[in-house]
């Protein structure tokens, strides 16, 4: 297990306690250089990038010097040579959530970032083609946000909870 | 004097052709459902998507070259028919004549092929120097003891 | 004078039976495989369950040559107009089997992304229950469809009226098909 | 409900507006951003040493010479509802752009409304060719959050079932790949063998597909008695048949011309794109999660990781064919080493009481009722577990807020990431290569669109 402090630049809070996975909590402006330092420290593959909307779960565990915001982008990096994973959780902000795109480091994240933009509305600066990927073009709203209704059609055989 | 009956079969064939053509047109007008097909049904089928951009009318040259090859063989066959009817009377002279004719036509084909009308496929990247491969020749089996780093 | 205006009478009776028998015996499905049900539809077309014995030897890929559209899988809001477009481009006479609960009623996914029942887009003839319906269920659905063809109306456009009584007043059984409504549903 | 609007099937512009996806589609060259254009041309790697020089894309290619067509959602060989937009110059493909979302089912939203007990039924419908492996990944994530131990027998049963599922998934791939390349008899053979495995699934879990068998805490039911000889019959027949497939396909000139040297992928490109699974292994990178980061009991079984050398279609075909044999080897070892014991963890928090006791004691009835209606509480936290699915690394990221429903359920789908490599693999290919490239990537659209 590499001790993270060696690779992570100063000022980035790291913690190993959480379910024994390595986590980093950079601020949005440290985010890009942290991931590029990981890439130079031969984390060859960015496996996963997803968004989380913490509207109804603000009191989640966070290291002390990190101020919780509503949206969070979780990046999962994998080092094939060292057989290790690291999770980078960056607080992306509340309403105008904006994070730097990782396309320049890992071209594979282009589609994942489009999906996070499509389903959460988090913007990614200098992303080559930030358009919707899963929803139809003229769909309004971002479905995976917590304040977005489930779009459930009331089913007759239960006393249906009113219009959707 | 050429007796007329030699041409009767051709006449019969002609009439049958016209009858069949006209007949099928009339029957389809009679029996087809009256309702005009909707625009959706007339639209070109593009896997369920209705295209906005009209496909351009200009086609790459390669398609025309293939059409040229067809034309060559078409002409050759057209001249073979009358030859085939009288090739016994013509004997050796006829045979040589036809061979000369088909050779000149074959020359046109050679020119077309050299122009690259038939070389369609994309450049294959790795084929040069590729060992003849079977389903287990180019794969490496890594079992647990030879656990080298990735 | 077209076949439509021919009144159903004694003379044309046997001819119609022949037409219905011919249509029933060689219904060619359009392979409209969407999700898990498509895998079961492939298994039904495979060697073990083999719907070729009902004349469905081949899955036609272009709607121009298909008679039956098996909607196999969940229909998402983005896919709804495409499904309607392929249905429109199929030649008459055409039938629709809604295979699986996701196609029939939205099934497990009662949410924003799935059209709750494909009969909001295309008029459906037979609903096959199951998630996914096992090949036997699909074959049962196909046989019920054959029964419908055998006793059904041969010339009327399908959604223009269900059983046409001889006195000619067609019952309109399905509302005219609404366009798939694509709108987000904020709380 | 708004009164039904008659679909104006009469107006072509309304129709094309309905099915067009605007910005998601492939635009003309003049209308695309240069980064996006280089991505669609398929050579966009920024990694040092592999940067693309933008001059290599001929920007001034006049737009009326090329033709943009749809290999659209309803197409026989796009393995589901993938829409591939191609810019063609005659037979050559200049640009490719996958447009996906035609099977988006909002599963991650539905996952947030189902309790942990019901979650497996939702997740198992994502990758419908390997349902057991989806459930396995989800259950392992929940167990890691709860940190409960799964009994030894459950671990081995899970491994047996996921390897059988891998075989059936690769058999479907062999079938559809053969069908795509014209060998339609391969379709019949592939599905015929798969029926053996589905019969065993039906016997064990009651369902052929989407079997809700692997649940948090163990497996739903024990293996039926006499399962050893069923599985042995499966292993022997399929192992013998793989050599038949080899004979049927590998020697055919058409098959070879369309597979050898087509769509090569380099190791750095694969790593940069995050591609995993047979696609990555075909480039020579020996990365298989069962070997590199072993889970379940993969470190106690003997099997080989199959790695290609040229990274082209033929290597991917050879890898999948040999992986069927490796999985059969694992299944044989599972038969011999299967431990006895209970198949589900006895932790009352996760496992309902056995049916017999419900009749007798009131608490058992209440416990059973509460567990199935309300589900069990999971301590707050987040976890990411990854397993090796037939298509690559399948990851499950769960954030729990202490209630009985996951707060956020994200599944990392291997096909979603592998599919983005299609424009790279199509570089300079011809129209017919598109079919083989999509087939060898083996995307499952349920997993791509989630």
Q: What angle do CA B121, B124, B129 make, to 5 degrees?
A: 140
Q: What is the mean pLDDT of chain B?
A: 80
- Among B31, B35, B48, beta carbon nearest to C85: B48
Flag whether pLDDT at D17 surpasses 80. no
CA D69 to CA D57: how far, in whole Å?
20
CA D239 to CA D241: how far, in whole Å?
5
CATH code of the domain containing B65: 1.20.58.1610
Q: pLDDT per residue over D216-256, tens digit each?
A: 989 999 999 999 999 999 999 999 999 999 999 998 888 98
Q: What is the mean pLDDT of residues B19-36?
A: 84
CA B145 to CA C5: how far, in whole Å?
81
Flag whether pLDDT at C186 surpasses 50. no
- CA-closest candidate to residue C23, choices C153, C162, C186, C184: C153
DSSP category for residue C162: S
User: How far is CA D241 from its chain centroid?
Assistant: 24
Asked if residue B97 is part of any domain, the answer here is yes
Q: What is the mean pLDDT of residues D97-114?
A: 92
Which pLDDT band holds residue D14 (cuts at 50, 70, 90)? confident
Give residue D47's pLDDT: 45
What is the rounded radius of gyration, in angstroms, for the C-alpha atoms of chain C?
17
Chain C nearest CA to A80, separation (Å) = 33
Split into its structural domains, chain A has a count of 1
What count of other Cβ atoms lies within 10 Å of the Cβ of residue B56?
13
What is the rounded radius of gyration, in angstroms, for the C-alpha atoms of chain B?
29
Burial letters for D235-252: b for 16+ Cβ neighbours within 10 Å, e otherwise?
A: beebbebbeebbebbbee
Flag whether pLDDT at C155 surpasses 70. no
Least confident of A127-136, B28-37, C32-41, D210-219: B28-37
Q: What is the mean pLDDT of residues D317-325?
A: 94
Asked if residue A151 is part of any domain, the answer here is no
- Among A136, A155, A164, beta carbon nearest to C185: A164
Q: What is the mean pLDDT of residues D328-333?
A: 95
Q: What is the mean pLDDT of chain D?
A: 87
Q: What ranges do the domains of chain C cover? A: 13-159
List chains touching C (3+ CB pairs under 8 A).
A, B, D
- Among B39, B48, B150, beta carbon nearest to D10: B39
Output C147 or A4, whichever has higher pLDDT. Answer: C147
Chain A nearest CA to D223, separation (Å) = 32
Contacts of B1 (CB under 8 A, 6+ apart): none
Could you tell me what percent of chain D has a pLDDT over 70? Answer: 92
Least confident of C128-132, D277-281, D351-355, D394-398: D351-355
Flag whether pLDDT at C187 surpasses 60. no
Local confidence pLDDT in tens for the 164 residues of chain A: 444 545 555 556 666 555 557 888 888 888 999 999 998 888 889 999 999 999 888 888 887 778 888 999 999 999 999 888 898 999 988 888 899 999 888 888 989 999 999 999 999 998 888 889 999 888 888 999 998 887 777 766 655 454 44
- Domain range for A75 is 4-125
CATH of C13-159, one of 3.60.20.10, 3.40.309.10, 3.40.50.12280, 3.50.50.60: 3.40.50.12280
**Quick check: D4 and C134 CB within 8 A?**
no
Q: What is the mean pLDDT of residues D388-411?
A: 93
What count of other Cβ atoms lies within 10 Å of the Cβ of residue C169?
8
Output B136 or A102, whichever has higher pLDDT. Answer: A102
Query: Which residues on adjacent β-strands are paired with residue C67?
Result: none
Q: pLDDT per residue over D200-213, tens digit each?
A: 999 999 989 998 99
3-state SS assignment for residue D396? strand
**Residue A63 exposed, middle or buried by CB count within 10 Å (0-12, 13-18, 19+):** middle
Asked if residue B70 is part of any domain, the answer here is yes
3-state SS assignment for residue D288? coil
In this structure, are residues D46 and A105 in contact, taking their beta carbons and an 8 Å threshold?
yes
Q: What is the mean pLDDT of residues D290-313?
A: 91
Give residue C3's pLDDT: 61
Reading the block at residue D190, the tokens are 């592939």
Asked if residue B101 is part of any domain, the answer here is yes
Q: Using alpha carbons, list the distances in angstroms from residue C95 to C15, C115, C125, D22, D331.
A: 21, 20, 6, 32, 44
Give residue A158's pLDDT: 52
Any C CB within 8 A of B31 CB: yes
The pTM of this model reads 0.88
Q: What end-to-end distance do the CA atoms of chain C give, in Å?
A: 57
Give me the phi and psi of D216, to 5 degrees please.
-55, 120
Asked if residue B88 is part of any domain, the answer here is yes
Q: What is the mean pLDDT of chain C?
A: 78
CA D395 to CA D410: how far, in whole Å?
8
Q: What angle do CA B109, B114, B115 make, to 5 degrees?
A: 95
- Among C73, C109, C131, beta carbon nearest to D106: C109
Q: Nearest chain B residue to C3 by CA: give it.
A: B31
Any B CB within 8 A of C11 CB: no
- Domain range for B89 is 59-120
CA A111 to CA D256: how far, in whole Å?
32
Any B CB within 8 A of A81 CB: yes
- Among D24, D46, D410, beta carbon nearest to A137: D24
**Quick check: D64 and B56 CB within 8 A?**
yes
In this structure, are residues D310 and B140 in contact, taking their beta carbons and an 8 Å threshold?
no
Q: pLDDT per residue over D146-170, tens digit each?
A: 888 999 999 999 999 999 999 999 9
Could you tell me what percent of chain B has a pLDDT over 70? Answer: 80
Chain D nearest CA to A109, separation (Å) = 7
Give residue A3's pLDDT: 46
Helices (H) and strands (E) in chain B, counts: 3, 1
User: How far is CA D220 from its chain centroid?
Assistant: 23
Spell out which chain C residues touch chain D, with contact meaning CB-CB distance below 8 angstroms: 31-36, 38-40, 42-43, 46-48, 59, 61, 73-74, 76, 78-79, 81-86, 88, 108-109, 111-114, 131-132, 134, 175-179, 181
Could you tell me what percent of chain B has a pLDDT over 90? Answer: 18
Least confident of A127-136, B47-56, B70-79, D306-315: B47-56
Least confident of A66-80, C6-20, C83-97, D181-195: C6-20
Contacts of B110 (CB under 8 A, 6+ apart): none
Give residue D325's pLDDT: 94
3-state SS assignment for residue A23? strand
**Quick check: C35 and D104 CB within 8 A?**
no
Asked if residue B30 is part of any domain, the answer here is no
Q: Which residues in chain D are contacts of A111 at CB distance < 8 A? A: 416-417, 419-420
Q: Tell how strand A23-25 and strand A13-15 pair up.
A: antiparallel
Q: Which residues in chain D are contacts of C84 at CB distance < 8 A? A: 7, 18
H or E element, residue A49: strand A45-53
- CA-closest candidate to residue B114, choices B73, B71, B150, B65: B65
What count of other Cβ atoms lies within 10 Å of the Cβ of residue D295?
18
CA B110 to CA B68: how far, in whole Å?
12
Q: What is the mean pLDDT of residues D399-415?
A: 93
In this structure, are residues D217 and D209 in contact, taking their beta carbons and an 8 Å threshold?
no
In this structure, are residues C122 and C98 in contact, taking their beta carbons and an 8 Å threshold?
no
Flag whether pLDDT at D42 surpasses 80. no
ω into D153 cis (within 30 of 0): no
Reading the block at residue D204, the tokens are 């064990």
Asked if residue A142 is part of any domain, the answer here is no
CA atoms within 13 A on the CB side of A37: 16
List chains touching D (3+ CB pairs under 8 A).
A, B, C
Q: Which residues in chain C are contacts of D172 at CB distance < 8 A? A: 39, 42
Please provide the DSSP assignment of D81-116 as one string.
Answer: T-EEEEEEETTEEEEEEEE--TT---HHHHHTTS-H
Q: pLDDT per residue over C55-82, tens digit each?
A: 888 888 888 899 899 999 999 989 988 9
CATH code of the domain containing A97: 3.30.460.80
3-state SS assignment for residue C61? coil
Q: What is the mean pLDDT of residues D121-139?
A: 94
Give residue A134's pLDDT: 92
DSSP category for residue D3: P
Any C CB within 8 A of B37 CB: no
- CA-closest candidate to residue C104, choices C96, C116, C112: C116
DSSP category for residue A151: -
Any A CB within 8 A of B142 CB: no
Give residue C6's pLDDT: 63
Map out the domains of chain D with their CATH numbers: 19-99 (no CATH), 107-412 (1.10.645.10)
CA D278 to CA D295: how far, in whole Å?
19
CA A20 to CA D284: how far, in whole Å?
31
ω into D50 cis (within 30 of 0): no
Give residue D28's pLDDT: 79
Least confident of B105-119, C94-108, D35-49, D59-73: D35-49
ipTM score of complex: 0.85
What count of other Cβ atoms lies within 10 Å of the Cβ of residue C136?
11
Q: What is the mean pLDDT of residues D96-111?
A: 92
């Amino acid at each position: 297990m590499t001790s993270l402090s060696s690779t992570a630049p100063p000022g980035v809070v790291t913690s190993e306690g959480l379910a024994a996975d390595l986590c980093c909590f950079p601020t949005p402006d440290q985010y890009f250089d942290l991931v590029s330092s990981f890439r130079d420290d031969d984390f060859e593959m960015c496996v996963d990038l997803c968004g989380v909307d913490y509207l109804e779960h603000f009191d989640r565990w966070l290291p002390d010097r990190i101020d919780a915001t509503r949206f969070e982008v979780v990046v999962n990096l994998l080092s094939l040579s060292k057989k290790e994973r690291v999770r980078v959780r960056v607080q992306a902000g509340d309403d105008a959530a904006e994070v730097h795109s990782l396309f320049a480091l890992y071209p594979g994240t282009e589609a994942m970032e489009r999906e996070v933009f499509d389903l959460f509305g988090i913007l990614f600066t200098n992303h080559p083609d930030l358009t919707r990927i899963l929803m139809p073009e003229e769909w309004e709203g971002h479905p995976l946000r917590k304040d977005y209704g489930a779009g459930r059609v009331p089913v007759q055989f239960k006393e249906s909870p009113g219009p959707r | 004097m050429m007796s007329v009956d030699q041409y009767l079969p051709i006449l019969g064939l002609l009439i049958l052709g016209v009858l069949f053509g006209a007949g099928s047109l009339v029957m389809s007008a009679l029996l087809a459902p009256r309702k005009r097909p909707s625009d959706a049904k007339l639209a070109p089928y593009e896997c369920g998507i209705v295209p906005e951009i009209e496909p351009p009318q200009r086609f790459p040259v390669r398609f025309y070259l293939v059409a040229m090859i067809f034309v060559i063989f078409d002409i050759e066959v057209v001249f073979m028919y009358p030859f085939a009817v009288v090739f016994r009377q013509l004997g050796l002279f006829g045979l040589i004549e036809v061979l000369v004719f088909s050779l000149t036509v074959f020359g046109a084909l050679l020119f077309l092929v050299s122009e690259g009308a038939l070389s369609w496929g994309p450049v294959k990247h790795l084929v040069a120097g590729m060992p003849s491969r079977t389903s287990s020749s180019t794969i490496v089996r890594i079992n647990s003891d030879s656990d080298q780093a990735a | 004078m077209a076949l439509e205006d021919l009144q159903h009478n004694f003379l044309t009776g046997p001819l119609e039976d022949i037409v219905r028998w011919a249509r029933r015996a060689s219904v060619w499905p359009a392979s409209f495989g969407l999700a898990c049900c498509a895998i079961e539809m492939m298994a039904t077309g495979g060697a073990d369950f083999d719907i070729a014995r009902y004349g469905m030897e081949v899955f036609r890929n272009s709607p121009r040559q298909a008679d039956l559209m098996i909607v196999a899988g969940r229909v998402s809001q983005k896919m709804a107009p495409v499904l309607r477009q392929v249905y429109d481009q199929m030649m008459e006479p055409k039938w629709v089997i809604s295979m699986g609960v996701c196609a029939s009623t939205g099934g497990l996914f009662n949410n924003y992304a799935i059209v709750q029942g494909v009969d909001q887009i295309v008029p459906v003839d037979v609903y096959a229950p199951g998630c996914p319906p096992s090949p036997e269920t699909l074959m049962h659905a196909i046989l019920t469809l054959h029964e419908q063809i055998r006793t059904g109306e041969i010339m009327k456009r399908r959604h223009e009226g269900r059983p046409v009584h001889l006195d000619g007043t067609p019952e309109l059984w399905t509302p005219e098909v609404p366009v798939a409504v694509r709108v987000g549903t904020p709380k | 409900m708004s009164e039904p609007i008659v679909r104006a099937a009469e107006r072509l512009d309304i129709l094309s507006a309905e099915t067009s996806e605007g910005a998601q589609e492939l635009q003309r060259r003049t209308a695309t951003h240069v980064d996006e254009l280089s991505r669609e041309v398929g050579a966009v790697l920024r990694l040092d040493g592999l940067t693309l020089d933008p001059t290599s894309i001929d920007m001034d290619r006049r737009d009326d010479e090329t033709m943009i067509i749809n290999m659209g959602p309803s197409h026989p060989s796009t393995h589901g509802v993938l829409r591939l937009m191609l810019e063609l110059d005659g037979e050559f493909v200049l640009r490719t752009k996958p447009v996906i979302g035609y099977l988006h089912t909002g599963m991650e939203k539905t996952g947030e409304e189902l309790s942990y007990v019901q979650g497996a039924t939702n997740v198992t419908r994502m990758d419908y060719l390997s349902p057991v492996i989806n459930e396995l990944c989800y259950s392992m994530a929940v167990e890691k959050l709860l940190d409960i131990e799964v009994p030894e027998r459950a671990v081995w049963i899970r491994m047996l079932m996921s390897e059988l599922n891998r075989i059936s998934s690769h058999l479907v791939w062999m079938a559809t790949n053969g069908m795509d390349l014209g060998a339609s008899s391969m379709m019949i053979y592939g599905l015929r063998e798969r029926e053996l495995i589905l019969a065993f699934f039906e016997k064990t879990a009651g369902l052929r597909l989407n079997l809700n068998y692997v649940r948090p805490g163990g497996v739903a039911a024990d293996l039926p008695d006499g399962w050893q000889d069923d599985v042995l019959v499966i292993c022997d027949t399929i192992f013998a048949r793989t050599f038949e497939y080899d004979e049927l396909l590998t020697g055919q000139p058409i098959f070879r011309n369309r597979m050898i040297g087509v769509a090569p992928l380099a190791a750095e490109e694969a790593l940069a794109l995050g591609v995993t699974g047979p696609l990555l292994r075909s480039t020579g990178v020996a990365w298989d999660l069962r070997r590199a980061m072993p889970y379940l009991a993969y470190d106690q079984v003997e099997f080989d990781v199959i790695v290609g050398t040229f990274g082209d279609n033929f290597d991917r075909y050879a890898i999948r064919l040999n992986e069927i044999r490796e999985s059969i080897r694992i299944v044989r070892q599972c038969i011999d080493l299967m431990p006895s014991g209970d198949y589900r963890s006895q932790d009352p928090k996760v496992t309902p009481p056995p049916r017999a006791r419900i009749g007798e004691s009131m608490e058992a009835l209440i416990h059973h009722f509460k567990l199935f209606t309300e589900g069990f509480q999971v301590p707050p936290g987040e976890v990411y577990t990854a397993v090796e699915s037939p298509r690559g690394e399948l990851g499950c990221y769960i954030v729990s807020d202490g209630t009985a429903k996951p707060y956020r359920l994200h599944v990392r789908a291997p096909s979603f990431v592998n599919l983005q490599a299609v424009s790279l693999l199509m570089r300079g290919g011809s129209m017919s290569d598109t079919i083989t490239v999509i087939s060898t990537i083996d995307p499952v659209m349920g997993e791509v669109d989630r």
